[in-house]
C-alpha cells in the first residue's frame, strides 16, 4: 500500500514538460500533510478540486501535497510519512482522480526549493516582513522556515506557471506576494511566469468547534475542535453537541460572526453541508433552541462522508 501510494505521487518529469507545452489554463493548489483533512479543508479546497476535474476540457489541474511546508511544525519522520499517506488516501477517497489531474509530493521535485532560492535573491526582507501572516510572529524567535513560508508558496505557484489558484481568504496575502514575485522575475529576466488569479471558495472559513475565534486545524491536538473526514456519525454528533456557543436566548440562532462566533460557525458548517445559504439556514432554525439546532447535524455525515466512501 505504501509503495503504491508513493509511486502515485512521484511525477514523471517528461510528462510534466509535455503538460506545460499546451495552451490550457493551469490550475495549481496544495494541501499540507499534517493529518487527516477536516471539513474545513474539504469545503475550502478539496471540493472545488473535484468539481474542476469534472467535464474539464480547458484546464491543466496540478495538485500538490506540500510536505516541505508542513516541516515548519517539526514533525517526526514517522509522523510525516503517516500524514502523507493519510492525506493522499483522503484525497483519493473524496474523488480526486489521478487520471484527470497531476497529484504529486512537493519534495519529489527539487525545483521547488531551487526556485525558492532564486526568488529570495530578488526579494527584500522589508517586503517579506510586510506579509500580514508574518506580522503576527516575534521575529527574534521566528524559525527561518516559517519566515520564508510565503516565498516557498510563491515558488510553488510560479514553478507550475499557474494561472488560477483556488485558495481560502487567509491565503490572499500569500497570493499577493506571488504576484509581486512574478513582476520582479519577469521584469529582470523577461516574460516567464503568468500572473496567477485567485479563486476563492464560496464557503465561509470554518472555525474551531471549541475555540470559534480560531481556525479549524488538522494539527490541533484537540480532535474535538474539528470534524475530520474520517469521523463517523457518532463522532460528529458528539463534537457538535459539545461545541462552544453562547448563552444568548433571543434569538437563539443568529448569524453574527463578531458577537456570536460559536453559533455563526455552526450555521456556516450546516450551510456548507446542506448547500443552503446562511440566510436560509438562519430562517429555517429561527424558532428553535441551540440544542435542537445541534441535533440536526446528521446531515453533516450524510453529505460529507458520502464523498469520501
What phi, psi does 118 have (nearest 5°)?
Answer: -60, -45
Stated pTM of the model: 0.87
What phi, psi does 183 have (nearest 5°)?
Answer: -60, -45
The list of the chain residues with pLDDT below 70 reads 1-22, 298-309
Q: Residue 44: CB partners within 8 Å, gap ≥ 6?
A: 168, 201, 203, 205, 206
C-alpha to C-alpha distance for 125 and 84, rounded to whole angstroms: 32
pLDDT at 207 (0 to 100): 95
pLDDT at 65 (0 to 100): 96
C-alpha to C-alpha distance for 161 and 182, rounded to whole angstroms: 10
Q: For residue range 279-291, what is the model confidence (pLDDT) as tens digits?
A: 999 999 989 999 9
Q: For residue range 68-81, what is the model confidence (pLDDT) as tens digits?
A: 999 999 999 999 99
pLDDT at 49 (0 to 100): 93
Amino acid at each position: 500500500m505504501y509503495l503504491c501510494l508513493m509511486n502515485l505521487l512521484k511525477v514523471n518529469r517528461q510528462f510534466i514538460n509535455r503538460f506545460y507545452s499546451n495552451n490550457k489554463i493551469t490550475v495549481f493548489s496544495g494541501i499540507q500533510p499534517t493529518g487527516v483533512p477536516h471539513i474545513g479543508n474539504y469545503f475550502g479546497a478539496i471540493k472545488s478540486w473535484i468539481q474542476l476535474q469534472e467535464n474539464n476540457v480547458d484546464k491543466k489541474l496540478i495538485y500538490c501535497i506540500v510536505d516541505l511546508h508542513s516541516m515548519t511544525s517539526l514533525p517526526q519522520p514517522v509522523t510525516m510519512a503517516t500524514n502523507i499517506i493519510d492525506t493522499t488516501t483522503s484525497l483519493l477517497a473524496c474523488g480526486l482522480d489521478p487520471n484527470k489531474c497531476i497529484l504529486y509530493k512537493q519534495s519529489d521535485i527539487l525545483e521547488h526549493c531551487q526556485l525558492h532560492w532564486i526568488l529570495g535573491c530578488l526579494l527584500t526582507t522589508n517586503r517579506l516582513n510586510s506579509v500580514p501572516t508574518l506580522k503576527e510572529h516575534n521575529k527574534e524567535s521566528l524559525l527561518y522556515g516559517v519566515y520564508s513560508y510565503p516565498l516557498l508558496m510563491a515558488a510553488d505557484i510560479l514553478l507550475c506557471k499557474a494561472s488560477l489558484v483556488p485558495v481560502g481568504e487567509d491565503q490572499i496575502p500569500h497570493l499577493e506576494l506571488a504576484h509581486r514575485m512574478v513582476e520582479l522575475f519577469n521584469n529582470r529576466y523577461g516574460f516567464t511566469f503568468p500572473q496567477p488569479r485567485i479563486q476563492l471558495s464560496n464557503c465561509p472559513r470554518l472555525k474551531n468547534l471549541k475555540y470559534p475565534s480560531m481556525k479549524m486545524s488538522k494539527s490541533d491536538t484537540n480532535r474535538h475542535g474539528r470534524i475530520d473526514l474520517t469521523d463517523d456519525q457518532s463522532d460528529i454528533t458528539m463534537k457538535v453537541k459539545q461545541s462552544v456557543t453562547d448563552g444568548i436566548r433571543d434569538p437563539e440562532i443568529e448569524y453574527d460572526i463578531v458577537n456570536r462566533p460559536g453559533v455563526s460557525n455552526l450555521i456556516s458548517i450546516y450551510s456548507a453541508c446542506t448547500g443552503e445559504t446562511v440566510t436560509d439556514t438562519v430562517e429555517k432554525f429561527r424558532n428553535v433552541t441551540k440544542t435542537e439546532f445541534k441535533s440536526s447535524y446528521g446531515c453533516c455525515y450524510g453529505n460529507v462522508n458520502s464523498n469520501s466512501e
